[in-house]
Chains A and B, each alone.
Chain A
Amino acid sequence: MKRYSAFAIAREAFRQHSGWDRAWANPEPKKKYDVIIVGAGGHGLATAYYLGRNFGITNVAILEKGWLGGGNTGRNTTIIRSNYLQDPSAALYEKARSLYETLSQDLNYNVMFSPRGVIMLAQTHHEVRGYQRTAHANALQGVKTEWIGPQRVKELCPIMNIDGPRYPVLGGLWQSRGGTARHDAVAWGYARACSDMGMHVIQQCEVTGVRRDGDKLVGVDTNKGAIDCDKMGIVVAGHSGHLAEMAGFRLPLESVALQALVSEPIKPCMDVVVMANTVHGYLSQSDKGEMVIGGGTDGFNNYTQRGSFHHVEETVRALIETFPMLSRLKMLRQWGGIVDVTGDRSPILSKTPVDGVFINCGWGTGGFKAIPGSGWAMAELMAKGESPLTDEFSMHRFREGQFIDESVAAGVAH
């Protein structure tokens, strides 16, 4: 692989850019791999990358039904933060956030990580108490966050109206090293690095069945033929239940559509990320100038990557009280993705009842921020059979009542 660098750009500029390699190869599947990862989204590709980088396992195929990063990796609002309440969550998300800090250098691919800071607004007294508690918890966990008052919020985000009659801004939980990254670049960067290690990223390859010998994994059936493997990681977000059914076990998940929208591009007006959970919307400005707005989930199970108009209306209606200037903007695009939600709103990174099959799912409405940490932990789990980061995230925790209850604590749009 030729490295990307300023020098490479200069070199190519002198020869009509004829010397760039394809970022990743497009191979046909082999008959057998050591490890198959199902799902070439951020989490799947990151899992494969860290299997190679940390454990030297490179005989790996990453199978993708559609195109690379075309699921939730390409459909989120790109927010990165780690201000969670519970210790296992904070450890996992902070691992991810810290890996994002150097991800562009590690991958030799600019993922445009922008640690511009994230404010989670407190607009009710309940939220004030909740976020102060989270700030204390974060201090103990070694996650740098702080509780800030309304004036500081206004300084950080001048377009905000902090004196709204219905939901005044009472303060916020501020994580200065949270921010955003270019979501597609995260998938592309990992795919390029995986391909460079000799792994096979195989797109338009749908898994249609899982072959077992008793309780032991043998391989998978795909639309490109049968492929054998020793281990398999299912990393398919909203479609996890579908894959689990093929493998012969069940998951405590429900799949719903989560949607987002962007406005027309405008001049820079906001250089932080704001999450306003009481009014149920979150907002940042992309490098192109679009206001990126995330809303709530549909209230009913579905697999349509669409969303619905009344949720757009609810989200925008609520946000314009706190951000009055948004009322003059035109909406440019709206889209939806299928998120898989667990009972305690925390993910599952786990062994399964089938020997050799591992599952990484349940990231619900907040998976993008976790991609590097999730891949790191999942790779360790698959290579060694255990990982300190995934111990608490077993799929059996629901049976045992060992929840990681972030459903209210994380305060996110579930």
Chain B
Amino acid sequence: MLILNCPYCGVDADETELAPGGEAHIKRFGPGSSDDDFEEYLFMRENPKGVHFERWRHANGCGKWFHAARCTVTLEVFGTYPAQTFEPPAELSAAISAKRPGWTWRTFS
């Protein structure tokens, strides 16, 4: 079972206390965007075998949305951070690079 630390209320929450919200840092496209942009926004996912950034909601707790960085192969949690950001904090990215050199993600922001 995953245990994630909620960056808002500080609680170490079990997976059953949280609601998964899918991939994080997805750039949203609105009316007038191209079909390619909409496909990218709605359907294309990184789905990496390795470092994954994702959204969670502390549903049975403080109710806040936050982001987590996790390995999809080992389930190791690298860290959590507030959702009001376009990219993971620099220190978290550095910590991930130390553990998983060469990890990739599409362009942030």
Contact = CB atoms under 8 A, between A and B. Distances in A.
A300 B49 contact: no
A254 B73 contact: no
A280 interface: no
Interface stretch (A24-32, A70-78, A303-311): A303-311
A343 interface: yes
A343 B35 contact: no
Interface stretch (B14-22, B79-87, B90-98): B14-22
A3 interface: no
A399 B73 contact: no
Contact of B73 (A252, A300, A304, A400): A304
B15 A301 contact: no
B19 A398 contact: no
Interface of A: 239, 241-242, 250-255, 299-304, 308-310, 342-343, 398-400
19 contacts: A251-B44, A251-B47, A252-B44, A252-B45, A253-B47, A254-B22, A255-B47, A300-B54, A302-B72, A304-B74, A304-B75, A308-B1, A308-B15, A309-B1, A310-B1, A398-B43, A398-B44, A399-B38, A400-B35
Contact of B39 (A252, A255, A308): A252
Given A251-B47, A254-B47, 15 more contacts: A239-B49, A241-B49, A250-B44, A252-B43, A253-B47, A254-B22, A300-B20, A301-B52, A302-B72, A302-B73, A304-B75, A308-B1, A342-B43, A343-B42, A400-B35
Interface string B10-52: 0000011001101100000000000110110011110111001
Nearest to A400: B35
A242 B49 contact: yes
B24 to A, nearest CB: 11
Contacts, number: 59
Contacts of B15: 308, 310
Contacts of A239: 49
A304 B1 CA distance: 12
Chain B interface size, as a band, is 20 to 34
Contacts of A342: 43
Interface string B50-77: 0010100000000000000010111100
Nearest to B52: A301
B9 interface: no
A303 B43 contact: no
A301 B35 CA distance: 26
B19 A299 contact: yes
A316 to B, nearest CB: 15
Contacts of A400: 35
Interface of B: 1-2, 15-16, 19-20, 22-23, 35-36, 38-39, 42-45, 47-49, 52, 54, 70, 72-75
Residue with the highest number of chain A CB atoms closer than 10 Å, among B45, B48, B73: B45
B43 A343 contact: yes
A254 B39 contact: no
Given A252-B45, A254-B47, A308-B15, A399 B54 contact: no
A343 B47 CA distance: 13
Nearest to B73: A303
A399 B39 contact: yes
A309 B2 CA distance: 11
Contacts of B16: 310
Contacts of A310: 1, 15-16
Contacts of B39: 252, 398-399
A201 to B, nearest CB: 25
A308 B20 CA distance: 14
Contact of B54 (A251, A301, A303, A304): A301
Contacts of A304: 72-75
Contact of A399 (B35, B47, B48, B74): B35
A121 to B, nearest CB: 26
Contact of B75 (A302, A309, A398): A302
Residue with the highest number of chain B CB atoms closer than 10 Å, among A254, A308, A309, A343: A254
Contacts of A241: 47-49
Residue with the highest number of chain A CB atoms closer than 10 Å, among B35, B36, B38, B49: B49
A253 B48 CA distance: 10
A302 B72 CA distance: 4
Residue with the highest number of chain A CB atoms closer than 10 Å, among B22, B47, B49: B47
A253 B23 CA distance: 12
A299 B15 CA distance: 10
A308 B73 CA distance: 14
Contacts of B72: 255, 301-304
The 9 closest A-B pairs by CB, nearest first: A299-B20, A252-B43, A399-B39, A398-B43, A343-B43, A241-B47, A300-B20, A302-B72, A303-B73
